[in-house]
Amino acid sequence: MQPLIQPALRLSFIWLWLAAFGWLQPGAAEPLATVRPQAWERYAVAAPLNPMRLPAIAIVIDDVGVNVRQVEATLALPAQITIAVLPYAPNAAQLAREARARGHEVMLHLPMQPLGAENPGPHALTVSLSPAEFDRRLAWNLAQLDGYVGVNNHMGSRLTSDRPAMTKLLDELRRRGLLFLDSRTGPRSVGTEISRSKGVPNLQRDIFLDHVITPENIRRQLQLTEVVARRNGFAIAIGHPHPATLAALNRWALDLEARGFKLAPLSAMLNPERPLRSAALGSVR
């Protein structure tokens, strides 16, 4: 027998043995027994089947909950769109439950200090808080809703550049098994760097859809999102519950798949198998 074949055969016997005892998910590369399901995995919405391995796009609508008139229209978006709820919104917990019941993946949109004078809202994390107050505010925010896969920053161009504050925040997210989506509201965010060093599942926003709230601009930003998805195999865009954004998204999503893209919940972008990504990279290289 060839020397290379023998170890491979031995491995496949071990795999069969593990599979027989239910320790392997069908097709999974590692025994699940070693991986406790993290909160983000527990609350993740199943990624859609993607036999064609189309580039995937995740859309996150954040700032949800403060403008109560827009809540219904936001929840009526296609279910694969992820909803990020502000913890200080009235009825935040109920809103998150309703979003999940309608099939949306839910994120917690955490208020953080910006560089400018804009007010990030009550209980926001700022760099000047005492350690005890920082912890208290963080715990308060994280307790306002349930069933979310992770956190992305509301504003935060100042706080996300602060190493001690981000270390504290990301330590807590890791402890709770939550993912971090860096909204990238400022150029000096250390969110991704610290997440990676601590092993916090992390993602970054590629495109803002509606910094300029006109139908033309939102359409252009959606096209740009498609360009990024084609290039990288996936793309993450953030929008807000403006009527123009919701209308543009509903129209855009209608024939998205015919144009060769798959709408997917945010957490699907963390899937290490990311069939979408490997397919796209293969065609780019």
Q: Which residues contact 102 (CB under 8 A, 6 or more apart)?
A: 75, 76, 79
CB of 273 to Zn ion, least distance (A): 31
CB of 154 to Zn ion, least distance (A): 4
Question: Other C-beta atoms within 10 Å of 122: how many?
Answer: 12
Nearer to Zn ion, 62 or 210 (CB): 62
Nearer to Zn ion, 60 or 276 (CB): 60
Of 59-67, 69-77, 158-166, 242-250, the window that binds Zn ion (rule: CB under 5 A) is 59-67
Nearer to Zn ion, 178 or 256 (CB): 178
| Total site size for Zn ion, rule CB under 5 A | 3
Of 54-62, 115-123, 193-201, 211-219, the window that binds Zn ion (rule: CB under 5 A) is 54-62
Per-residue burial over 143-157, b = 16 or more CB atoms within 10 Å of its CB, e = otherwise: ebbebbbbbbbbbbb
**Rounded CA gap, 120 and 111, in Å?**
6
**Rounded CA gap, 123 and 120, in Å?**
9
Nearer to Zn ion, 154 or 277 (CB): 154
Given 44, 54, 63, 276, the residue binding Zn ion (CB under 5 A): 63
Burial class (CB within 10 angstroms; exposed 0-12, middle 13-18, buried 19+) of 237: buried
CB of 33 to Zn ion, least distance (A): 39
* Nearest-CB residue for Zn ion: 154
Rule CB under 5 A: which of 126-155 touch Zn ion? 154
CB of 153 to Zn ion, least distance (A): 8
CB of 278 to Zn ion, least distance (A): 32
Alpha helices in the chain (DSSP H): 5-20, 39-43, 68-75, 92-101, 131-142, 163-176, 191-198, 215-232, 243-254, 275-284
Q: Are the C-beta atoms of 61 and 86 separated by less than 8 Å?
A: no
Of 62-70, 116-124, 129-137, 257-265, the window that binds Zn ion (rule: CB under 5 A) is 62-70
Rule CB under 5 A: which of 17-46 touch Zn ion? none
CB of 62 to Zn ion, least distance (A): 5
Of 46-54, 57-65, 90-98, 156-164, the window that binds Zn ion (rule: CB under 5 A) is 57-65
Q: Tell me the one-letter amino acid at 190.
A: V
Of 191, 200, 233, the closest CA to residue 40 belongs to 200
CB of 109 to Zn ion, least distance (A): 6
Nearer to Zn ion, 54 or 173 (CB): 173
**Rounded CA gap, 278 and 285, in Å?**
11
DSSP 8-state code for residue 271 = -
CB of 113 to Zn ion, least distance (A): 13
Angle, CA 43 vertex, CA 97 and CA 112 arms, to 5°? 75
Nearer to Zn ion, 63 or 182 (CB): 63
Rule CB under 5 A: which of 149-188 touch Zn ion? 154
Report the interface residues with Zn ion, using CB under 5 A: 62-63, 154
